[in-house]
């Protein structure tokens, strides 16, 4: 049997849930304490204020994301791995979705978090470039350093903005259904499609077509 | 000599400036009135509350954007037009940048605006698809309806998130310099590069290379 989560852990879990469902800016430490049925004093014993809770959740988020932004050591990466890898990234972005809802406001009010986020995104962009260049060396993609940088930026933007795109253009209060997750993976794989060498092009196109899910609301 | 702007017009201009520089959520109608040196009562005579001001600014934004999302009637579109067209779109997004700063929060607190934004983005996506399909008919791009839809979504996401990308990964309080604007156009043109027919490929690549500006902070 799993150990009962500590109060500290319960505070983090409840905060994440409340931030995700009601928006970080609408939630105070009093809401969190009241949701858990603990006193504000007990909460302050573990976290001295809300930014400390946000910072800790960011550390969790960053740790989970970085696993996927690290170049696998001499692993034979295939296309199915790639789809699963993107699925995991989108899933983590969904679990910590409050981070990218009103990201600019969140960072504006917390300069320390802004600095950490900047470093995290720069490191992720840099690692993504390395992954693409490794694919190029393995003869799967054909791109140079500048193209790898450009592609990484577009992938980063689509990945981190996919949920905002769905909420604002497809209607609010969506859950990230399996379908919409797949469509996000598709949108990102398509970005790489133009750089795939001829020998792999058919496999990539066939994978893309399997992931394609129509978005009803934007059909003309 | 241009006519002196009306009080109504001055309220809109001041609101836009304050929303852009200090964040919409940090600005009240009292801030706007005080900034203009008018009484709150005078402001309320023109706009009954802040959402009415935001709605009016959105109408302006939408009107300016839609000019560029409309298929030009039988105009011979060339690549230079395209770069200028993207520059204008990014420029309008910059002029009304408060809209896409904390967009989810803004729409969450204003269901009517959320509905208008959803329709606007769906219409823009639909018009972008039509533009790409017209390029395909003109023999400049090679893509089918599904690819045009996919490309439109990625273009929309990169276009509307470009400023957030710069603020959160390159450091806050940026002005959209000519350099960073050009880089945004480059990032979007590259999305289309894979669909350009061979006869136009060299011209597109050469245009892309002229627009490329390195982003120092993400160089590995």
pLDDT in tens, A135-186: 898 888 999 999 999 999 999 999 999 988 988 888 755 566 778 888 999 9
Question: Which residue, B78, B76, B73, is CA-closest to B200?
Answer: B78
Domain match, A213 and A198 both = yes
B-chain residue closest to A163, CA distance: B104
Domain match, B153 and B173 both = yes
3-state secondary structure of A135: helix
Parent domain of B12: 1-48
Segments in B1-78 forming alpha helices (H): 7-22, 29-36, 40-46, 50-68
Residue B119 touches chain A, beta carbons under 8 Å: no
Residue A174 touches chain B, beta carbons under 8 Å: no
Domain match, A43 and A67 both = no
How many Å lie between the alpha carbon of B214 and the closest alpha carbon of chain A? 9
B-chain residue closest to A220, CA distance: B126
Size of interface A-B (CB pairs under 8 A): 141
Query: For residue A218, what pLDDT band results from cuts at 50, 70 and 90?
Result: low
Query: For residue B3, what pLDDT band results from cuts at 50, 70 and 90?
Result: confident
CB contact (8 A) between residue A171 and residue B118 = yes
Pick the more confident residue, A62 or B102: A62
Domain match, A33 and A67 both = no
Tell me the pLDDT tens digit for each residue of B108-124: 889 999 999 999 999 99
ipTM rounded to 2 decimals: 0.89
| Chain A residues whose beta carbon lies within 8 Å of the beta carbon of residue B128 | none
Pick the more confident residue, A151 or B172: A151
Domain match, B38 and B54 both = no
Domain match, B68 and B171 both = yes
Give the total number of structural domains in chain A.
2
Domain match, B21 and B93 both = no
Q: What is the DSSP string of B133-199?
A: HHHHHTTSB---HHHHHHHHHHHHHHHHHHHHHHHHHH-SS----HHHHHHHHHHHHHHHHTTB-HH
What is the spatial distance between Cα B123 and Cα B141, in angstroms, rounded to a whole number?
Answer: 22
Domain match, A58 and A71 both = yes
CB contact (8 A) between residue A122 and residue B23 = no
- Among B122, B154, B217, select the one facing A122 at the smallest CB separation: B217
Q: Which of B16, B33, B48 is the last residue of a domain?
A: B48
pLDDT at residue B81 greater than cutoff 80: no
| Chain A residues whose beta carbon lies within 8 Å of the beta carbon of residue B191 | 154, 191
Task: Tell me, rounded to whole angstroms, the distance of Cα B71 from its chain centroid.
Answer: 17
Domain match, A44 and A109 both = no
Test mutation, B165, B171, B205, B216, chain A, max A CBs within 10 A = B165
Mean pLDDT within B212-220: 74
3-state secondary structure of B125: helix
Domain at A18, CATH number: 1.10.10.60
Residue B194 touches chain A, beta carbons under 8 Å: yes
What is the spatial distance between Cα A81 and Cα A72, in angstroms, rounded to a whole number?
Answer: 11
How many Å lie between the alpha carbon of A165 and the closest alpha carbon of chain B? 7
Tell me the pLDDT tens digit for each residue of A70-121: 766 655 566 777 788 888 888 899 899 999 888 888 998 899 999 999 999 9
Pick the more confident residue, B31 or B137: B31
Q: What is the mean pLDDT of chain B?
A: 88
Domain match, B6 and B115 both = no
Domain at B147, CATH number: 1.10.357.10
Domain match, B12 and B59 both = no
CB neighbourhood size of B58 (10 A): 18
Domain match, A108 and A21 both = no
């Amino acid at each position: 049997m799993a150990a009962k989560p500590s109060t500290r852990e319960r505070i983090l879990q409840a905060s994440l849930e409340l931030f995700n469902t009601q928006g970080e800016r609408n939630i105070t430490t009093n809401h969190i304490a009241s949701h858990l049925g603990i006193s504000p004093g007990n909460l302050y014993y573990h976290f001295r204020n809300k930014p400390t809770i946000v910072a800790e959740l960011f550390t969790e988020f960053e740790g989970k994301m970085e696993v996927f932004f690290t170049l696998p050591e001499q692993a034979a990466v295939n296309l199915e791995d790639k789809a699963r890898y993107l699925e995991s990234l989108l899933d983590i972005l969904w679990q910590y979705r409050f981070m990218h809802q009103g990201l600019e406001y969140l960072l504006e009010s917390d300069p320390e978090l802004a600095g950490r986020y900047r470093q995290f995104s720069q490191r992720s962009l840099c690692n993504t470039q390395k992954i693409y260049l490794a694919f190029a060396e393995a003869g799967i993609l054909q791109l140079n350093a500048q193209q790898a940088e450009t592609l990484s930026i577009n992938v980063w933007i689509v990945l981190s903005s996919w949920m905002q795109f769905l909420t604002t253009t497809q209607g609010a209060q969506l859950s990230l259904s399996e379908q919409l997750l797949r469509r996000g993976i598709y949108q990102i794989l398509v970005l790489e499609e133009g750089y795939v060498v001829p020998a792999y092009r058919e496999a990539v196109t066939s994978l893309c077509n399997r992931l394609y899910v129509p978005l009803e609301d934007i059909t003309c």
